Amino acid sequence: MKIEMCEGRPLDSKGRSETEMRVYDFLDALGISYRRADHDPAMTMEVCRDIDEVLDAVICKNLFLCNRQQTSFYLLMIPEDKIFKTKDLSAQISSSRLSFADSGHMQEYLGVTPGSVSVMGLMNDKNGKVRLLIDRDVLNSEYIGCHPCVNTSSLRIRTFDMIEKIIPAMKHTYTVVDL
């Protein structure tokens, strides 16, 4: 896979979605410094490992979850090498019967499609319907890797900037979990 590294936003928006460009606009408006890797679609964590090596950042599994009634929604950021066990997370957040949320809710709340789920999608969650959960090990890394709401690019962002600037600017908070 060919991976092209760049500083900041693309110089040309040709061939890029409006959703992706809004992420760059959002980050630039906050004065956030970031590196961008353009690549083939990253549909699996195996592909993301190659990107991780180039970005030198913790690429997270981003899991969009809901309760059985589909009334509570969660975005879980977990290191790609950790195994997600529903019962471990359920106990920590007092929500039983967690499962993966469907693509309709993913589009409605995060403005993304399967394979493109990212913390950056929270900028589309204007009504605060999604609760952000971050595994403690993600917070211990210097950089976080995430998609700009498309799976053909990945961003390297300082963890401090994500926690202290980006998430608050999206009007969200987060809950630390240990998985």
Strand (E) or helix (H) holding 93? helix 86-93
**Separation of alpha carbons 80 and 67, rounded Å:** 23
135-158 tens-digit pLDDT: 999 999 899 988 899 888 889 999
Measured CA to CA, the distance from residue 50 to residue 42 in angstroms comes to 10
Q: What is the pLDDT of residues 78-90, one digit of tens each?
A: 988 888 888 889 8
| Domains of the chain, each with CATH number or no CATH | 4-177 (3.90.960.10)
> Do β-strands 153-158 and 130-135 pair in parallel, antiparallel, or remain unpaired?
unpaired
What's the predicted TM-score (pTM) here? Answer: 0.89
**Which pair of structure tokens corresponds to residue 112?**
């993304």
DSSP state of 126: T
